[in-house]
Structure 1
Amino acid sequence: MLHNKFIDALNDHVQNNFWLYVISLLCICTGIVLGIYSVRYMGGFEKSDLVNYIKSFSSAIGSGNIDYKQIFIQTIKNNIPVLIIVWFLGLTMIGVPIILIIDILKGFTIGFTISFIINGMGIRGVWVSLLGVLPQNIIYIPCIIFISVLAMEFSLNMLKDKGGKSWTSNIWLKITSYSVSFALVMIVMVVGFTMESYLTPQILKVVIAGVGSIFV
């Protein structure tokens, strides 16, 4: 029963904010494309540095010297500030453009990472990207889109009601509900953090063991 209510509420939210979801998704896709093409125009020196970094990372994974706790902490540091910034921007009347820029940057990071891995490893990079990059992003991307739309919706509602009282009369209740929604998304993203920190290194370890050195 509770599950059905949640699905219905989510469907209503998507329908009521359809174009915001489309715009957020387009921004992430745009970022992915920009990230992919940026690798093609990198200089040889920059590529060499990144290749050496990934070589050392893959060697550490292959030898079993993995600090899972440190990876988990770093993953939290990389993602939680973004959620907090988007939450804050939703409380302002000018947050929408910045939220969309954040979506583009998130997409850029994903596109750059996948493109560089494939560019550096060839066909083996496809497997590393599929098994080491995409799984957690299957969780991250919907969460980022959802909180982006949530924040833009909140910001636009404040902007529409500027100077009025119809929406701001119970503003603190709305802020509480808005904040709780963000907290729930953070809980969902913890699943992604756990995958990225504990599951992904194990998958990469199997891939590396199966193909030997992942760089030619």
Structure 2
Amino acid sequence: MNFIINKLGETFRDKKVYFFMVLIMFCLGISFGLYVVKYMSPSNRNDLVSYFSSFTSSIGDNPVNYENLLFNVIKKNILLIVPIFILGLTFFGMPFILILDMLKGFTLGYTFCFIMTTFDGKGIGLALASVIPQNLIYIPCFIALSVIALAMSTQRFKGKFLKRANTNDPFLSFIGNKLIIILVLFMIGVLVETYVSPNFVKFVVSKFY
């Protein structure tokens, strides 16, 4: 355990600039999401509130289609994970990776804030049940993957434009093992989002809505 903690601390110190960039963009995205919800037009807000109210009214009575939900959750994560990794393989990927970080933060901030404001004080339970469980796993994995992709893209940029004889980054050693660990954790998050969060949501809806 101490070895793992020391290794994580060493990695953070070595790549703290990348961690800082990812966290800044992620937090900016969350802020933009909160801003959009706060200044949403009344007509758009009413449409979303009507849809979400009908959703919460029916979710407690209808069984969860886990197979369909699992497919959608996997597809949603693939559409985020794969572009980040592919951009990491290019020398121009850094700005686009950071934009994806911001988009991830935006969706999280928008979703959480909308649920909170739609049901006033009662929305906190639904927001926590529907957003938090899987994102406790997703967010660290997402940050780690973004940092790895930034390191990969930077190495390719240096090799292409700075013509350095040695552009190997020790951080990228055993990168396959790191990516496998991240993928496994992502899959745990997928299972949580598919099989745990819906039951949390059903419980909250049935008890409080």
Per the normalisation by structure 1, the TM-score is 0.87
Aligned to 1:30: 28
The 8 Å contact of residues 131 and 204 in structure 1, kept in 2 or not, is answered as yes
- Percentage of pairs with the same residue: 34
- Residue 98 of structure 1 deviates from its aligned partner by 0.5
Aligned to 2:46: 48
The 8 Å contact of residues 61 and 201 in structure 1, kept in 2 or not, is answered as no
Aligned to 1:166: 166
Separation in structure 2 between the aligned mates of residue 180 and residue 49 of structure 1, nearest angstrom: 46
Aligned to 1:207: 204
Q: Secondary structure at the match of 1:161?
A: helix
Q: CA RMSD for the aligned pairs? A: 2.0
Task: Please tell me whether residue 116 in structure 1 is matched to residue 114 in structure 2.
Answer: yes
Unaligned runs of 5+ in 2: none
Letter in 2 for 1:166: N
Letter in 2 for 1:77: K
Aligned to 2:193: 196
Unaligned runs of 5+ in 1: none
The 8 Å contact of residues 90 and 155 in structure 1, kept in 2 or not, is answered as yes
Within 5 Å, which residues of 2 pair with 1:50-199?
50-162=48-160, 163-167=163-167, 177-199=174-196
Letter in 2 for 1:65: P
In structure 2, relative to structure 1, the CA distance for the partners of 1:81 and 1:179 (3 Å cut) is farther
The 8 Å contact of residues 158 and 167 in structure 2, kept in 1 or not, is answered as no
Q: Bigger CA drift: 114-123 or 63-72?
A: 63-72
Letter in 2 for 1:105: L
Task: Please tell me whether residue 39 in structure 1 is matched to residue 37 in structure 2.
Answer: yes
